[in-house]
Structure 1
Amino acid sequence: MASARISSLKTSPASNARLHNDNRFRALLADEDWGRLPAAVWRRFSKRLAEGGTIIYVGEIDEVTFNRAGWWLAQAARLIGGPLPTGSETGVPAIVTVTEDAAAGGQIWSRIATRSDGFPQVIHSCKRFAGPTGLEEYVGCGISMALKISVAQDALVFRSTGYSLQLGPFRLPLPEWLTPGDLTVTHRDLGGDEFRFTLEIIHPRFGMLIRQSAVFREAMP
């Protein structure tokens, strides 16, 4: 059922939204690393929308796993807006929207994971081209994580390098015992205008806390 619903959505490799060349992600990589990525990944991460413009990706979640500590972490994270997946259902549609945030000079990412029963989960975050690595993800309640991007096996990889809490004008680094561990997001092109999004959180003591994987393609506006 979920696959049928996804396939019925009109999709296109190119959006009709008004776009500008965007070198913000490319500037964070060496030319050699950027050159190792497939052309389709270049296109996805070189789109800068006009203010308020949005790109929509539609897909399906095909893997979600938690260990016991990961499940409790995801539930506890609801206190700061629920930035982590909380359900383990697979074979359900998912939507990602990317909106240009001109005020902050970044991108607002919204992820919608539908459920066969009940309301979908919606996760919001903002990617900002700031911080010690030049890229950070703000998840709400003053909490952000610095991200370092790299290329591994022709995929674009985002890895957390530290977490911080913003209190007014002050930014306080969070100690390791207050963080979930190492977060890695991988964007891998699959050809045919599709790509795989994979999220993993690994704790040095509790191991693989959460793993989620989904396949997406850009929707026709």
Structure 2
Amino acid sequence: MRFRALLSDEDWQDLPPDVQRRFTKRLAGGRTAVYVGRITKVHANLPGKLLSQILRLIGGPLPLFDDVDVPSVVTVTEDVETGGQIWTRLYANRTGFPQVIHSAKRFAGPTGLEEYIGFGISMALDVTVEDRVLTFRSAGYYLRLGPLRLRVPRWLAPGALNVIHREEGGQSFVFGLTLDHPLFGRLVHQEGLYREEMP
């Protein structure tokens, strides 16, 4: 019920039952949730492509390829250390090895949920429901240096990140990611259509 606790009763009840089920599933004891699908939309402008390449220095958290109709797999496991979740996203492409992105959702920080990508870098997330779509919005970027947790100044931040989880029916859902910058516009937009692989 950890994601449930971040929403009002009204917002939670507005979510489709399959979305509620996915986000109340506990994955303790070595269990893994596996979602398989295909990338349906990808676009990045020139500043977005440059940013994606630069961020490879810290693990490459943004899509590097613009191939569509290629396989994608998302796995979610329990983060034993923090009690959160480890998300691993695999994106195939037509020219080489797939891109693999790792991050951890931790139930911590100023909003109660943050995404940690490694190298001491995390992003606070606001969770809302809009038109029955579960939405995660960036609410500040942070850098941990030893015991210090420093907020990244807005002018140094990569922009406003918006992630959606939208039910499509037939136990399929869209995972979408958008990154917008106040000066450089829409840097990155990616969508994939997934279904859950039942154990």
Normalising to structure 1: TM-score of the pair? Answer: 0.89
Kindly report structure 1 stretches of 4+ aligned residues shifted beyond 2 Å.
Answer: none
Corresponding position of 1:59: 37
Query: Using the alignment, how far apart are the partners of 1:75 and 1:91 within structure 2?
Result: 22
Query: Using the alignment, how far apart are the partners of 1:134 and 1:156 within structure 2?
Result: 16
Corresponding position of 1:25: 3
Picking from 116, 126, 134, the partner of 2:94 is 116
Corresponding position of 1:148: 126
Question: What SS does structure 1 have at the residue aligned with 2:51?
Answer: helix
Question: What SS does structure 1 have at the residue aligned with 2:26?
Answer: strand
Among all aligned residue pairs of Structure 1 and Structure 2, give the percentage whose two residues are the same amino acid. 59
Corresponding position of 1:129: 107
Q: Is the 8 A contact 1:52 1:101 kept in 2?
A: no
Question: What SS does structure 2 have at the residue aligned with 1:40?
Answer: helix
Alignment of 1:67-106 (within 5 A): 67-106=45-84
Q: CA offset at residue 102 of structure 1? A: 2.2
Deviations 1:98-119 (A, max 9, x none): 0011221100000000112210
Question: Are residues 1:40 and 2:25 paired?
Answer: no
- Superposed CA RMSD in Å reads 0.7
Query: Using the alignment, how far apart are the partners of 2:77 and 2:189 within structure 1?
Result: 25
Query: Using the alignment, how far apart are the partners of 2:95 and 2:66 within structure 1?
Result: 13
Q: Is the 8 A contact 1:147 1:159 kept in 2?
A: yes
Q: Is the 8 A contact 1:36 1:151 kept in 2?
A: yes
Query: Using the alignment, how far apart are the partners of 1:55 and 1:133 within structure 2?
Result: 25
Question: What SS does structure 2 have at the residue aligned with 1:130?
Answer: coil
Query: Using the alignment, how far apart are the partners of 2:69 and 2:157 within structure 1?
Result: 30
Query: Using the alignment, how far apart are the partners of 1:188 and 1:167 within structure 2?
Result: 36
Q: Is the 8 A contact 1:62 1:90 kept in 2?
A: yes
Question: Are residues 1:179 and 2:157 paired?
Answer: yes
Deviations 1:52-96 (A, max 9, x none): 321100000010000111000100110111011010000100000
Question: What SS does structure 1 have at the residue aligned with 2:19?
Answer: helix
Query: Using the alignment, how far apart are the partners of 1:34 and 1:161 within structure 2?
Result: 20
Query: Using the alignment, how far apart are the partners of 2:43 and 2:81 within structure 1?
Result: 36
Q: CA offset at residue 178 of structure 1? A: 1.6
Query: Using the alignment, how far apart are the partners of 2:49 and 2:166 within structure 1?
Result: 26
Normalising to structure 2: TM-score of the pair? Answer: 0.98
Query: Using the alignment, how far apart are the partners of 2:173 and 2:183 within structure 1?
Result: 31
**Structure 1: which 5+ residue stretches go unaligned?**
1-22
Corresponding position of 1:200: 178
Q: CA offset at residue 176 of structure 1? A: 1.2
Deviations 1:99-151 (A, max 9, x none): 01122110000000011221000000000000000000001110000000000
